[in-house]
Amino acid sequence: MASSDGEVKVLGTWSSPFVMRARIALNLKSVSHEFLQERLWEGKSQLLLKSNPVHKKVPVLIHGHNTISESLIIVQYIDEVWSSAPCILPSQPHERATARFWAAYLDEKWFPSMRAVGMAEGEDARRAAIGQVEEGLVLLEEAFGECSKGRPFFGGDRIGYLDIAFGCFLGWLRVTEKMTGVMLLNETNTPRLLKWAHRFCSDDAVKDVMPETEKLAEFAKMIMSRVKGAAPGTGKS
């Protein structure tokens, strides 16, 4: 089997949910690693540009001589290299396919719909954007029921691949709730996800890497004012 020898580093930022995925996976496997923070507003580091020349994005996992990019691919790599520690992906092919399906849905549809809430201009657009996020959460609530089968996490008794893929977005979800005044996770529509979110964020593998909502909210305000300020001809403050 592949050697787990070699220094482990994660290149990333504290605010990125995708970076969080890599760190949670390493924590689950109790793999000590160095977190190298990119200061993206100062320009991308030489290390980042060299390690991920195609996308020039975080996270990047550096393991000895190997560099791996793309957060979910990193999580799978971690699961395969440190194979004796708790398993991240389910063991059955069909359950693995289900986890991968929902992870792809989260990245391709759900998270973009949540980002769209922050960028929506005008009350109608905002309400429509929130509606999209809520519809997605109802689907995810159902998926939770099917995957967890009454146990605490999507992965069963412990955090697994889909918990990591979804849970990393909880910080930004809470910021969106704060910004809009809408409780996206709630007792009425998503009772199971509401409880799962609390369990996920309290887990030892997660709590030190999940940013505080206040800090993230401040950061979000700063980004949005930069984006809106930089956009030409918007004429809006």
Partner 1 sequence: MEELKLLGCWGSPFSYRVLWALKYKGVEFEYIEEDLVNKSQLLLTYNPIHKKIPVLVHGGKPIPESIVILEYIEEAWPQNPLLPQHPHDRAAARFWIKFGEDKAPVFYRFFHTAGEEQAKATKEAEELLRTIQEHGLGDKKFFGGEKLGLADIAYGWIACWLDVLAEAAAVPLLALERFPRLQEWAENFKQVPLINDNLPDPVKLLSHFKSRRGEIIAAPTS
User: What are 135's two structure tokens?
Assistant: 């519809």
Three-state secondary-structure class, residue 130: helix
Binding mask 127-146 for partner 1 (x = CB under 8 A): ------------x-------
Q: Which of 69, 71, 12, 7 is nearest to 37 (CA)?
A: 12
Size of the residue set binding partner 1 (CB under 8 A): 23
Binding of partner 1 at residue 70 (CB under 8 A)? Answer: yes
Pair 108, 59: CB distance under 8 Å: no
Binding of partner 1 at residue 113 (CB under 8 A)? Answer: no
Binding of partner 1 at residue 68 (CB under 8 A)? Answer: yes
Beta carbons within 10 angstroms of residue 149's beta carbon: 8
Pair 134, 189: CB distance under 8 Å: yes
Minimum distance of partner 1 from residue 103's CB (angstroms): 9
**Which range touches partner 1 (CB under 8 A), out of 73-81, 115-123, 161-169, 201-209?**
73-81
Binding of partner 1 at residue 112 (CB under 8 A)? Answer: no
Exposed / middle / buried, residue 3 (Cβ in 10 Å: 0-12, 13-18, 19+): exposed
Among 14, 40, 44, 105, binds partner 1 (CB under 8 A): 105
Beta carbons within 10 angstroms of residue 178's beta carbon: 14
Binding of partner 1 at residue 114 (CB under 8 A)? Answer: no
Residues that bind partner 1 (CB under 8 A): 2, 53-54, 63, 66, 68-70, 73-74, 76-77, 80-81, 93-94, 96-97, 100-101, 104-105, 139
